[in-house]
Each structure stands twice: as C-alpha cells, then as structure tokens.
Amino acid sequence: MTKTALICGSLAFDKIMQYHGRFGDTLLADQLHRVNVSFLVPTLRTEYGGCSANIAYNLQLLGGEPLIMGTLGMDGGDYLKRMQEQGLQTRGIRTIADAYTAQCFVTADQDNNQINAFHPGAMQFSHENNVGDQGPLAVAIISPDGRDGMIKHARDCAELKVPFMFDPGQQLPMFSGDELITFIGQASYLACNDYEFEMVMDRTGLSQADIAARLDALIITRGAEGSDIHASGEHHRIPAVQAANVVDPTGCGDAYRAGLLFGITNGLDWATSGRIASLLGAIKISSQGGQNHSFTPQEFDQQFEAAFGFSFR
C-alpha cells in the first residue's frame, strides 16, 4: 500500500534584508499618508521556502514519501534542481514560463519589526495542476497556495476520495465563511494555529465542537504552549518541546504538519503523531530558514525517545 503524501502548496523564494536602524526613527506617525522612505540594508540572503517544499523537506528527513505539487516560475530552475538532488519527488511541479516564482521580500529592523511584500507570481497558476495526475496517494495536504488552486485541489481530493488535511495558513482571509465550511466538509483533517482557528470559527459561525465533529481530526497549534488534537471525541494535549536554541520560527508550522503526515501515513495514533510534529518544530526553530536543518531518522528517533521516554518505530 502506498505511503505517498501529496504536498500541495506554495514554492517561493524568501529575500530577507536586515536594516540596522529602527523603522520608528524614519516613519513619521503624522506623515503615514504620504510615505516615501528608503532603508539601507547591508545584508541580504535568499532562502528556499514555500509551504509545500518546507513540508516535503521535513517529511523526507523523517523517512516519509512526499510528492510536491506546486508551481515554479521561469527563475525556478535552481530550486527544482536542488529539490531533485535532495531526492524529493518533483513530477507534480509545473514551471510557468511567463511568470516569476513566488517571492517574499522581508525587511527587518534591529528590533525585529518587519515590513514584508509578497509577489505570488507562478503560485497564481497552481490550479493548472491536477491531483488525479499524481498516481496513488495515501493522503494529501492543501497548504497555502493560489486561491483557485486550493479550491480545485480540495475538490479533486474529495472526488478521488483522497483524505486530505486543510491548512489555510496565511491564505485564510481569502475565503468566505461558506467556502471554509465547504473545505471543512471535504477535508479529513484541519490544521490551524490558535489565531487562525479563532478566525475560522468567526467566519463560519461554527463552534470548536461543531468543527471537530465534521473531521477525523482537528489540530490547533499554540506555539510555546504546545498543541491540541481533537479526534474521535478525544482530546490529546501535545506538549511543546524545549528548543535547544531559538533562532528563526520560519517554517516551524510546516515542520509540525510534516510530523502529522508522517503519523497518518504510518498508522500512528494522534498522541504519538502530535509529539513527532512537536519535536520537528523544535528542531526547525534552532536553525535559520525553513530548509537548513538536517538529521537522520535514527538521530530523530534518539531525540524523540529522550524527549518523551518511548519509541514510536
């Protein structure tokens, strides 16, 4: 039986710039209606990112079988080569010849305030990909992507009877209450952070109990406070794992979701799957960027047993 997990979502470059001053010293509160400022950013780094690649990267490290389905632009050749060299399955990635790869431009000041700009680029063509073209699947995740693509891929999964996790993330504001109710009705699992889940309840008018009853599992992450998994009428409180060093939270949510997918494809219970996810997030936060940490499955197993006192393999 296949263990392939289809990872639908964005592929992006993160351009991260550091301003050595404070935005507040340049932005005048009484002149924000006519801003014209320039910030000298002596440092610039490019990180490989996007939700689908981040999730797949972590799932592969665990020993899972991710298959990425997303879109790159005309400038995505190096990214595609990198993923292939890592052994990731990329047959579901489409290159859009007349668009740039999605890119997030982040400028941070010395107080870690950020001014961000996001160019969706090729992500807007994600609806051109088809779930049915990807072969046998154990599970899928619909993570942040182009709006039309997220709607189409959820519908495709439902029609093909592929269980999927709906992970709206930063794209949540794009959907109406009725659209979110449709997603919840199609999905087997919903994963949100606590703020996002409050927005889901507000927009749909559904309570936590209502939403959980429509799903095989509802997962709510709470940062340093851990996470909650509601499944089959049971509540699993998942503890956070103390990170060795808090460096960069970028991609921690994606790492967590990779842990859940590993648990699902390997038939693990939710209490164990949540703990795998929690440890993955703690490992990721100790390094910069979404895909620069590394470990072998054996090393992960040792850390898991040290953190929780039992082995899951």
Q: What tens digit of pLDDT does each residue of 120-169 get?
A: 999 999 999 999 999 999 999 999 999 999 999 999 999 999 999 999 99
Query: Do residues 307 and 241 touch, judged by C-beta distance below 8 A?
Result: yes
Cα atoms in the 13 Å half-sphere on the side-chain side of 299: 7
Tens-digit pLDDT profile for residues 28-43: 778 778 888 899 999 9
Q: Any idea where the domains of the chain sit in the sequence? A: 5-11+50-100+123-307
Query: What is the value of pTM for the model shown?
Result: 0.94
Task: Count the helix, strand and coil residues of the chain and give each as a percent rounded to the nearest 5.
Answer: 40, 25, 35
CA dist 283 and 293 (Å) reads 7
User: C-alpha 116: how far from its chain's center?
Assistant: 18
Tell me the per-residue pLDDT of 53-110, one tens digit each, with 9 for 90 and over: 999 999 999 999 999 999 999 999 999 999 999 999 999 999 999 999 999 998 988 8
CA distance 151 to 189: 15
Report the 10 Å Cβ neighbour count for 83.
Answer: 23
**CATH architecture observed for domain 5-11+50-100+123-307:** 3-Layer(aba) Sandwich (3.40)
CA distances from 73 to 10, 48, 101, 133 (A): 12, 14, 4, 20
